[in-house]
Amino acid sequence: MKNESYFIPNTTTTPDIQTYKTQWEAPSNIALVKYWGKKDNQIPANASVSFTLKNCKTITEVAFSKKENNLHFSFDFYFENHPKESFKPKLNDFLTRIEPYCPYLKAYHLKISSENTFPHSSGIASSASGMAALAFNIVSFEKVLYPEITEEYFYEKVSFLARLGSGSACRSIKGKVVVWGEHKSVPQSSHLFGVEVSEIHPVFTTLQDTILLVDVGEKQVSSTVGHNLMNNHPFANQRFIQAEENLTTLLEYLKEGNINGFINLVESEALTLHSMMMTSNPYFILMKPNTVAIIQKLWNFRTQTQIPVCFTLDAGANVHILYPENEKDTVQHFIQTELATHCHNHQFINDCIGNGGAEIG
């Protein structure tokens, strides 16, 4: 079993590279079995599984320049070409957390420049793609300093670092379907990083996801507050047991191509996530009237057409509509004519399953 010390470079050589630039993109992901509740050091209370997205991504460039001293890292942050001071505390926490695993950072100043392919105010969580893209850049630089690191180590370390920035980010690294958290059905699974699940039936490998932007404001409940709601939650233990079972069942459905089973489990997971928020203390209702209107129209559409389309939710009001590629035209017509009216400024984003991060240039 790999532990944290596996990710500490076992060399004390001081790198002598003066300047270096890396650029990577990483996508967002959508959880099917949700991560909700965590322990110290970004260890999840239950294992989760997600689909990697393709179009919703963050593109990040890092310029590393050697400093006079090597006492502590330093950095600047630019978002869409403008300095963005408000993001710096979160980045500072992230770099502080990863420094023991990336001691070489102490000798460098990092100029980090980022942009998203989706509107920043869309209510889409950019922390997963953002932390994943940054982690890619850092480990990519590590590989320049220590070329002997293997491809397997590279991806595991990117996921490991991304997790320390935001839990779900560790599922945005590599593969269409990713499990994060130790789980008996996935022998190589780990609390420390995400692992790719490769036994996926073709009906799922081209899955479509249209994200309906119901509420584009700031998150009503931050993820930190949200996960903490599961401490002392009256239903927490039962929920963690259920998530464990749901993961086993979902992996079977994904392998067999059982789309009706998939629909049932994925929608139940989304509503369970929201039920956890409604039954915690303090309690929250993160769905909006338009969220519920969309779900009801979707259910009617499914009953009438028998098209295997379903929804899932994040910790917010937006709705992800999931459907097979061969139903794309009909479902997108339905979204355009029936569901867009429930979205903020009729906005939605068409996305589909993707493969993870990639180097640019």
First-last CA distance in the chain: 35
For ligand DP6, the binding residue among 25, 34, 136, 266 (CB under 6 A) is 34
Binding flag, residue 351, ligand DP6 (CB under 6 A): no
Select from 46, 168, 246, 258 the one that contacts ligand DP6 (CB under 6 A).
168
Residue identified by tokens 């009617």 is 300
Nearer to ligand DP6 by Cβ, of 125 and 254: the residue is: 125
Using CB under 6 A as the binding rule, the residues of this chain from 263 to 292 that contact ligand DP6 are 273
CB-count burial class (<10 Å; 0-12, 13-18, 19+) for 255: middle
**How would DSSP label each residue in 103-142?**
GGGGGEEEEEEEEESS-GGG----HHHHHHHHHHHHHHHH
* Kind of pairing between the strands at 74-79 and 108-116: parallel
Non-local (6+) Cβ contacts of 281 within 8 A are 229
Query: Which residue lies nearer to ligand DP6 by CB, 127 or 291?
Result: 127
CA nearest to 332, candidates 212, 202, 206: 212
Q: How many residues bind ligand DP6 (CB under 6 A)?
A: 17
Q: Cα dist. 298→105, 263, 266, 320, 340 in Å?
A: 49, 12, 14, 11, 12
Which residue, 166 or 291, is less far from ligand DP6 as judged by CB? 166
Q: Which of 140, 159, 223, 280 binds ligand DP6 (CB under 6 A)?
A: 223
Asked if residue 122 binds ligand DP6 (CB under 6 A), the reply is no
Q: Tell the smallest beta-carbon distance from residue 116 to ligand DP6 (Å).
A: 15
Name the nearest CA neighbour of 335 among 318, 344, 353, 347.
347
Report the site for ligand DP6 in 53-112 (rule: CB under 6 A).
none
Minimum distance from residue 31 beta carbon to ligand DP6 (Å): 3
Does the protein bind ligand DP6 through residue 116 (CB under 6 A)? no
* 135 neighbors 166 (Cβ within 8 angstroms): no
**Nearer of residues 227 and 233 to ligand DP6, judged by Cβ:** 227
| Segment interacting with ligand DP6 (CB under 6 A) among 12-20, 133-141, 149-157, 219-227 | 219-227
Q: Which of 216, 315, 319, 322 touches ligand DP6 by CB under 6 A?
A: 315
15 binds ligand DP6 (CB under 6 A): no
Residue 23 Cβ vs ligand DP6, minimum distance, rounded to whole Å: 24
Asked whether position 48 contacts ligand DP6 by CB under 6 A, the answer is yes
**C-beta neighbour count of 63 within 10 angstroms:** 17
In whole angstroms, give the CA distance from residue 186 to residue 104: 33
Separation between Cα atoms, residue 236 and residue 127, nearest integer Å: 25
- 320 makes contact with ligand DP6 (CB under 6 A): no
Should residue 127 be labelled a site residue for ligand DP6 when binding is judged by CB under 6 A?
yes
The alpha helices in the chain, defined as continuous H runs, are 88-98, 127-145, 151-165, 202-205, 223-228, 236-256, 259-278, 289-305, 328-334
3-state secondary structure of 359: strand
Residue with nearest beta carbon to ligand DP6? 167
Q: Which stretch binds ligand DP6 (CB under 6 A): 29-37, 101-109, 243-251, 259-267?
A: 29-37
Residue 138 or 315 having the CB closest to ligand DP6:
315
Q: Which residues bind ligand DP6 (CB under 6 A)?
A: 31, 34-36, 42, 48, 125, 127, 166-168, 223-224, 227, 273, 314-315
